[in-house]
Amino acid sequence: MTQSQNSAKVVGIHQPNFLPWLGFFDKIAKSDVFVLIDNVQFVKGHICNRNKIKNNQSEAVWITVPVSNKKGTDVNFNELPIAYEQNWGTSIINQIRGSYGGAPYFDRYMEKLSHYFTEKEYHSLGDLNIALIKFCCDELAITTELITASQIDEEFGTNNDLNIGICEYFEADTYLSGQGAKKYNDEEQFEKAGIQLKYQQFDHPEYKQLFKGFIPNLSVIDLLLNEGPDAGRFFEHR
């Protein structure tokens, strides 16, 4: 879908999770501007710093970036240090190699991914996650403009005020929301602001995977390592 086919300017918003699933990138691809909210609180035990891959036993297993939260639980993505002393990068690389060493595009992507895990230290979990999201967008040929919220010099409030404020900041007339936010979105508030509230429609595709069976909802690297340059065809681009 091109901008000429649909004149509405669509904004999507989400926190920068670690190597997210396909639905995350589908939402980016369907937006004109996508804002990565890195100045919101990190949630322990969520997918903020971990995600799942498929191992050689056809099981979904976690790969995790350990964090050093000395301030307690109330720390934002862009302020949360990564626990580099735990040598987690090598551990993740070994997990990926053990699971995807025989994948068609392992050699194409593994060296690039290793750079993010072992060759550079990031200031925060938010910085690492955003760098990986941008890398994956490039590999999926997703050209949506990505904006980091902490770089916007304006306060928007929280919840509905935040989402509406960001849409107004970018002069968007449509907000693309995830299905899970239906119970939180105030449709009347969006209507008063003159912003169309649209919900993402995403049917998880089935693609080639190693080993028996198909496991959905894995990290996007499962798609990249199995489908390579053709992975972008699974997304509806604006």
**Confidence (pLDDT) at 157:** 76
**Confidence (pLDDT) at 72:** 58
Residue 2 has pLDDT above 50, yes or no: no
The whole-model pTM stands at: 0.93
Average pLDDT over residues 87-114: 96
Model confidence pLDDT, tens digit, residues 112-123 = 999 999 988 899
CATH fold of the domain at 10-234: Rossmann fold (3.40.50)
**At 45, is the pLDDT very low, low, confident or very high (cuts 50, 70, 90)?**
confident
Model confidence pLDDT, tens digit, residues 161-213 = 999 999 999 999 999 999 988 888 999 999 999 999 999 999 999 999 999 99
Residue 5 has pLDDT above 70, yes or no: no
User: Cα separation of 139 and 132, whole Å?
Assistant: 11
**Confidence (pLDDT) at 7:** 61
Tell me which residue of 42, 49, 51, 79 sits closest to 66, measured CA to CA.
49
Residue 153 has pLDDT above 90, yes or no: no
CA atoms within 13 A on the CB side of 3: 9
Q: Is residue 42 within 8 Å of residue 69, measured between CB atoms?
A: yes
Q: How far from 125 is each of 47, 77, 167, 168, 171, CA to CA, in Å?
A: 12, 6, 25, 28, 29
Q: Is residue 109 within 8 Å of residue 221, measured between CB atoms?
A: yes
User: Cα separation of 114 and 120, whole Å?
Assistant: 9
Model confidence pLDDT, tens digit, residues 70-93 = 765 688 999 999 999 999 999 999
**At 129, is the pLDDT very low, low, confident or very high (cuts 50, 70, 90)?**
very high
Residue 1 has pLDDT above 50, yes or no: no
Percent of the chain exceeding pLDDT 70 equals: 94
Domain boundaries, the chain: 10-234
